[in-house]
Structure 1
């Protein structure tokens, strides 16, 4: 956690300056008043401003990273985690010897790991970004295959007019397909079924 001490004319001004210096939101900080402001003679001579210590709580991304590294340690996996923060998600890229064991059958182990990391990091956080855990580029490669498959099947639906149901997918994979085809002029998509058997349906867009 990051902390900073700041002095200003009033407690409020000191807190505002400290929050700005830390680059965080006020609600994500705790404030300790070290010295109350003191008025001097005639309001000026001997005056002393307020001194506060402001501590920024760990961000959702930091909590997620710490939790993920703890899990890797418990599993005896010597992996290096690179963090890439974006507007919609925070991506943890794990590289190193033996890390592919984290993927599992069709990425099921990786999905479970990502789920618990999100649960641990989201508790009490106002940050709505999704935490994505990737291993040796698996998710990126999977997304590229999904995009290619979605376009290929969309063209088939547009040509035949018959709907196609894709295999059951995790929610983030379904979102990849929905996003890829949302502007397609001839097809539409929707999801059907209950988790973990929910799948995407690509349908002909009738005019």
Structure 2
């Protein structure tokens, strides 16, 4: 958050001075009137300037992107980060030579980073952002792997005529499994257990 204290002969002049210093517009800031000032005798004697404090809240997307860069920098991995925003959906894509270190085993490191960014971007906000962190197309490859796993485990459940439990997964990955099997009327899926160890059960 950037804050500027400015003065002027009127409150409006003080606000305008602060906006020019912040290089922004009125709809992007929060204004606090410290002193309305007074004109004084003949507009000169005994006059007091108006004083205002103008705050420009930090952009949550920029804040999250900077946090992501700091995390990866501390990991000692040279990467590039690109950001795409569509409404309340924010996608961060990471590219670099050592991308496997950022992904981690079965995406666990990438998921942990995504979870932390989700907390950062939604902290003390009036509206909710959905966050996706990808690394050179890993999410799409993982989606295909999970869909294949879903079909394979559904076949196993039917063949053995008993329920099959999958490994714990984050909510957005469990959703992929549920979606992949939703049209299969021979089986049912459910999520069981407590976060972060919640898992899917597939049964006839």
Which TM-score applies when normalising by structure 1?
Answer: 0.65
Root mean square deviation of aligned Cα: 3.9
> 1:170 aligns to what?
170
> 2:109 aligns to what?
109
Contact 1:100–1:136 (Cα < 8 Å) also in 2:
no
Tell me which structure has the larger Cα radius of gyration: 2
What residue ranges of structure 1 are gaps of 5+ in the alignment?
3-7, 12-16, 23-28, 37-51
SS in 2 for 1:195: coil
> 1:201 aligns to what?
201
User: Which aligned pairs between 1:34-183 and structure 2 lie closer than 5 A?
Assistant: 57-87=57-87, 89-157=89-157, 161-183=161-183
Distance in structure 1 (CA, Å) of the matches to 2:167 and 2:122: 29
Query: Cα offset for 1:144?
Result: 1.5
Q: Which runs of 4+ in 1 moved over 6 A?
A: 52-55
Contact 1:90–1:130 (Cα < 8 Å) also in 2:
yes
What residue ranges of structure 2 are gaps of 5+ in the alignment?
3-11, 16-24, 37-51
Contact 2:122–2:129 (Cα < 8 Å) also in 1:
no
Which TM-score applies when normalising by structure 2?
Answer: 0.66
